[in-house]
Structure formats: C-alpha cells, structure tokens
Amino acid sequence: TVGVLDIDNLLQPTLQPPSTPFAPTKDPWSHEPHCTKSTSLATLGQKFCVYTTNTTGPHGLSLIFRPRSATEATQYLNDNPLHSFLTQKEAQRLYVRGQPWKIVDIPGKAKGVVATRRIEQYETFMLDQAAVVMDMDAENALDSAQNRRLLKRAVDQLRVPSRIRDLSAAHAGSEGSDGKEEEEEEEEEGRLEESIMKTNAFGSTVAEVSTRALYPLISRVNHACNPNSFVLFSRAGVSLAIKAYRAIEPGEEITISYLLLGLPSKQRAHLLSRWGFNCSCALCTLPADERTASDLRRTLITRNEAKILELAEAYDLDAAIALGEESVEMIKEEQNWSLLTDEYAMLAMLWLEKGDRETAEKYGKMTHRLLADLGFLGVGEERESWRLEQVLESIGGLGGKGVSWKKSPLRG
C-alpha cells in the first residue's frame, strides 16, 4: 500500500489495563447499510457494508465493515476524546484557552498545522475522531472498483463530505491515474476518495478490527523525522490525540513522524517516497558529516538492542548495562523519546538482576514517569493506579522476578 501511516510505526497506549465496557449505542445508523459481496473465488460471498452514523463525533462516521463487526462496533462509538485523553481539569483549560493551533498554507507542503500559542511539553492539544474507517480485509476480499465505490459512498454519507474531499490526495502515484487516461466513468468512481485514504489514513485498530482510518483534522499534520509531537490512539481507536514531545512556540509548525522513530536517513527516504515528497526536515537537511554521525548513532542503537539481550542471556550484566547506558545517551542525542521507555525498563531489569535494587528502582521510576508523561498509562485515576512493578512487568516481563527475561524477552 502507498503512503499509509502504519500504527506499528506510531505510538499507541498499549499498556492500558483491560477497559471498562463502553456504553452500548442502540441502532446508531443514520442510513440504510449499503452492502457489496465479493465475487472473487478465494473470498466468494464475503460481505462488506457501509454503515454511517451522523451523530458520532464532529464529522459523523462511516464504517466499511462486515455486518457482524458493525454490530460489535456500536459499543465503541461513544468514544469522546475529551474523556480518553484529558482529565476534566485539562479539558476545561483547553476549552477556556481555545485550541492552540490552526490549519494554514505551508510553502512546499500544501497545508499544515501551526501553533497559535505556546504549547507545553507533553500537553495534549489536538483531538480528533475518525470519519471513515475501512476494515483492511475488505481491501483483499473485494476488487478495487468495489472498494472505491464503498469508499465513495462512505464519504457521501458523512455530514460534510467536502471535509474529506478537500484533504490532500498527494501520495506518490496519485497523478496520471495509473497511466490510463479517461477510463469509463464508473471505473473512476471513488478514485479521489481512494487517493485521499492512501495519503491520509492511519493503519489502526478500531473497535477491535484492523482498519485504515481517516481522522480529518489530524490529517493536516505534516511529517518531520524528529517531530515535536506524536499521535496517541484511544482504546476504542475511534479517537485520536496529538501530544507534544517538547514545548512548541507560537508560529512553529506541528509535526509528527509518519515512520518509526530512529531510522537512519536512507531508510527514511525510501519509506517516505510513498507519500510523494522529499523530506526537508531539520534532520534530513543536516550537513553531511552530522547526518552521517546521526545515522551511525541510529544504527548503533538498533544493534545494541540485540546485543544487550545476548549479553544478558550470557549473564554478562556489566557489559549489558554499559551498552544500555550508552544507548540511553545516543537516544537522547537523537531525541527519540519513545525509545527511552524500553531502554530504561531494560536497565531497571539488569540492575535488579545485579542485585542493586536502588539503581533498578531509579530506572523503573524513570520508565514509569516517561510512560505516564507520554500518555501511555491513561489519564487521571487510571494513570495514578499503575504500580511500578506492574509497569515493568508490562513492558519487559521482569518486575523483580529475577531471570524472567529468559522466558519472555524484554522487547519481544
């Protein structure tokens, strides 16, 4: 697939404990479901339908789901981002001060988002809800013309379809419609919507279904390899938030990374070519010698990961700790904050194994703190209820249980 923001490459609150059930919503659909069946031999008869609810979220929501999944999904629709990502106090503050961003034209990038006031480090400042969500299985089960028709209908049925149709369709390959000029009109149906999905959709789990989902506001945020912000998904997956890695000054562009953090420049350029732009972010335009140094650190961080586990297996704890501490410094230099949580947890485990509980606890607390700051432990009471041991166990399967990493590898 072209240009899809893959959830595997983005931060997500994987550490949240089992959720309290969402309130079921009764028959929320504002339109008759519109269904299509697969005619290909391998998936013959599989049925996917467009289900639209125009009372969900700011944009309304269309699901392209199997009937059974759509019924299941009704319990997830009541997914207010204010509740998922903010305490009541934070929500009030955001409301009183107003949204601290606006969508503007950015030279060379079409539109983008800039801060309109100072945004504090770790502030959750932009919220959105999905407008179009497509079961990834539909892509394989149905042919592309069927998929496009469902997509078009999904957009048509939203409250304000132009909010979707105005989004960027600039992914690589979107020009020239595969070299086939004027195809029959029916064949063209849904091409724009398809391109918009390819340029803007996040691969994510919505209502426990693997999907591509479109979040119209957050779709305006451009990419940077060392971004100032990151995306957080709600447990139901319908809502999404943007949080700041660091303080952002008024006028500064809000950026997220479309890729896994920590990749060296060649790999980044290769992956980004899917979106049809050459990255000119601060990291990609470093002077050659600085870029080489950054690439080297990134390669070493990845290499150290495997090496630390090997050394730990061989019980060479001092060498494993030395490498872990070296990685922490390199990760800080590269500002890949999300990688730090694993590194700290690993060091907590190694120091514990070495019998130095005090240092282990220091690293454990740093893991806990950073996960909480990044929003991985939820908000309010939920965030407070996480215990240090529980966090360490979730992240690395150690929690003071000695050689437990041998049974469950830390980063597996």
Ligand X SMILES: C[S@@+](CC[C@H](N)C(=O)[O-])C[C@H]1O[C@@H](n2cnc3c(N)ncnc32)[C@H](O)[C@@H]1O
Q: What angle (nearest 5°) sits at the alpha carbon of residue 228, between those of residues 107 and 396?
A: 145
Footprint of ligand X (CB under 6 A) = 3, 108-112, 167-168, 170-171, 199-200, 219-220, 222-224, 275-277, 279, 281
Name which of 133 and 391 has its Cβ closer to ligand X.
133
Least separation, in Å, of the C-beta of 225 and ligand X?
A: 9
Least separation, in Å, of the C-beta of 81 and ligand X?
A: 19
**Total Cβ atoms within 10 A of residue 108:** 9
Name which of 261 and 350 has its Cβ closer to ligand X.
261
For residues 54 and 31, what is the distance between their CA atoms, to the nearest angstrom?
Answer: 9
Least separation, in Å, of the C-beta of 113 and ligand X?
A: 8
For residues 104 and 113, what is the distance between their CA atoms, to the nearest angstrom?
Answer: 6
Least separation, in Å, of the C-beta of 364 and ligand X?
A: 37
Least separation, in Å, of the C-beta of 272 and ligand X?
A: 8
Which residues make Cβ contacts (< 8 Å) with residue 367, sequence separation at least 6? 341, 344, 345, 348, 391, 392, 395
Name which of 212 and 368 has its Cβ closer to ligand X.
212
Q: Which strands sit side by side in the sheet containing 124-129, from one edge to the other?
A: 124-129, 239-244, 229-233
The two structure tokens encoding residue 354: 């070495």
Least separation, in Å, of the C-beta of 105 and ligand X?
A: 8
Name which of 281 and 321 has its Cβ closer to ligand X.
281
Q: Are 119 and 248 in contact (CB under 8 A)?
A: yes
Q: What angle (nearest 5°) sits at the alpha carbon of residue 297, between those of residues 315 and 228?
A: 115
DSSP conformation class of 119: B
Name which of 45 and 108 has its Cβ closer to ligand X.
108
**One-letter amino acid identity for 120?**
E
Name which of 154 and 224 has its Cβ closer to ligand X.
224
For residues 337 and 313, what is the distance between their CA atoms, to the nearest angstrom?
Answer: 26
Q: Which of 197, 189, 211, 147 is nearest to 168 (CA)?
A: 197
Least separation, in Å, of the C-beta of 85 and ligand X?
A: 20
Strands 101-106 and 110-115: antiparallel
Name which of 148 and 198 has its Cβ closer to ligand X.
198
Name which of 112 and 364 has its Cβ closer to ligand X.
112
Name which of 276 and 324 has its Cβ closer to ligand X.
276
The two structure tokens encoding residue 295: 């690439």
Beta bridge partners of 10: none
Least separation, in Å, of the C-beta of 163 and ligand X?
A: 12
Least separation, in Å, of the C-beta of 131 and ligand X?
A: 14
Q: What angle (nearest 5°) sits at the alpha carbon of residue 199, between those of residues 78 and 177?
A: 130
For residues 95 and 181, what is the distance between their CA atoms, to the nearest angstrom?
Answer: 49
Name which of 67 and 173 has its Cβ closer to ligand X.
173
Rounded to whole angstroms, what are the CA distances from 375 to 3, 122, 123, 142, 233? 26, 8, 10, 37, 10
Least separation, in Å, of the C-beta of 7 and ligand X?
A: 15
Name which of 22 and 277 has its Cβ closer to ligand X.
277
Q: Which residue of this chain has its Cβ atom nearest to ligand X in the complex?
A: 110
Least separation, in Å, of the C-beta of 110 and ligand X?
A: 3
DSSP conformation class of 411: T
Q: What is the full DSSP assignment across 70-131?
A: HHHHGGGS---HHHHH--HHHHHHHHHH--SEEEEEETTTEEEEEESS-B-TT-EEEEEE-S
For residues 113 and 248, what is the distance between their CA atoms, to the nearest angstrom?
Answer: 12
For residues 186 and 181, what is the distance between their CA atoms, to the nearest angstrom?
Answer: 14
